[in-house]
């Protein structure tokens, strides 16, 4: 019987769900407390290998994920090296094959367009097999639908879906969204969160 490390596997006898912060080794990936990833197909501890793609050190781009996020099985983060440059007359990545074409190795990153970091806010739910492209910023409290392809920024507390992902609706009224963004309950200590969990779980914004 496998020994369960509670810092990695928060649920008893569940080896498909992990706290991401505990298994990240790449210095260019930052994950907040309590953010979890579930994978019923592959080993969830292989998140960096299986879910963070084209994330090459030469770009120095970052994946930043906030606290209390829920990431479903198969969600993917596609980084800049997946973007063949549109500045060239050809989509072929000649600079990668610098030896073949007598090019300067230092120009290898010119093979793709650099759109920046991927930043995910707090309390974000990313659905099954959703794809987040490089340069995208997702606001706090947003929901990304299953198999959505997110090509542009997502507003806080927006629900998006489709290919490319488009906003379907806001989760709450603008008044409630503004209050939640001001309160930032995810930054409270664990004891305070426990005290206010009934209000959080029941949607009672006034009690917060």
Q: What is the pLDDT of residue 6?
A: 73
pLDDT in tens, 127-154: 999 999 999 999 999 999 999 999 999 9
Q: Has 55 been annotated as catalytic? A: no
CATH code (residue 42): 2.160.10.10
- The answer to whether the CB of 146 falls within 8 A of the CB of 131 is no
Domain assignment present for residue 31? The answer is: yes
Please check whether residues 138 and 208 belong to one and the same domain. no
Please check whether residues 21 and 123 belong to one and the same domain. yes
What average pLDDT does this structure show over 200-206? 94
Please tell me which residue in 55, 60, 84, 137 is annotated as part of the active site: 84
Q: What is the pLDDT of residue 43?
A: 97
Please check whether residues 54 and 136 belong to one and the same domain. yes
Domain assignment present for residue 200? The answer is: yes
Please check whether residues 125 and 163 belong to one and the same domain. yes
- The answer to whether the CB of 39 falls within 8 A of the CB of 14 is no
The answer, yes or no, to whether residue 3 has pLDDT greater than 80, is no
Tokens of 93: 């990545």
The whole-angstrom separation of Cα 110 and Cα 115 is 12
Residue 201 pLDDT class (50, 70, 90 cuts): very high
Instruction: Give the count of domains, the chain.
Output: 2
The answer, yes or no, to whether residue 7 has pLDDT greater than 90, is no
Q: Containing domain of residue 62, as a range? A: 17-86+115-171
């Amino acid at each position: 019987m496998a020994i369960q490390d509670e810092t990695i596997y928060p649920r008893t006898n569940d080896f498909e769900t992990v706290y991401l912060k505990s298994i990240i080794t790449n210095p260019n990936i930052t994950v907040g407390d309590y953010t979890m990833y579930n994978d019923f197909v592959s080993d969830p501890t292989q998140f960096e290998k299986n879910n963070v793609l084209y994330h090459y050190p030469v770009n120095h781009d970052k994946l930043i994920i906030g606290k209390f996020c829920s990431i479903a099985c198969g969600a993917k983060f596609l980084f800049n090296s997946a973007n063949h440059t549109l500045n060239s007359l050809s989509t072929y990545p000649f600079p990668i094959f610098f030896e073949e074409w007598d090019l300067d190795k230092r120009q290898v990153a010119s093979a793709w367009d650099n759109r920046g970091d991927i930043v995910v806010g707090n309390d974000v739910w990313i659905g099954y097999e959703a794809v987040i492209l490089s340069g995208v910023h997702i606001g706090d409290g947003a929901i990304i639908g299953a198999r959505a392809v997110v090509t542009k920024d997502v507003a806080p507390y927006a629900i998006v879906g489709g290919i490319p992902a488009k906003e379907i609706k806001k989760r709450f009224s603008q008044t409630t969204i503004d209050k939640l963004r001001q309160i930032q309950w995810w930054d409270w200590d664990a004891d305070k969160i426990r005290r206010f969990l009934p209000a959080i779980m029941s949607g009672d914004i006034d009690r917060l």
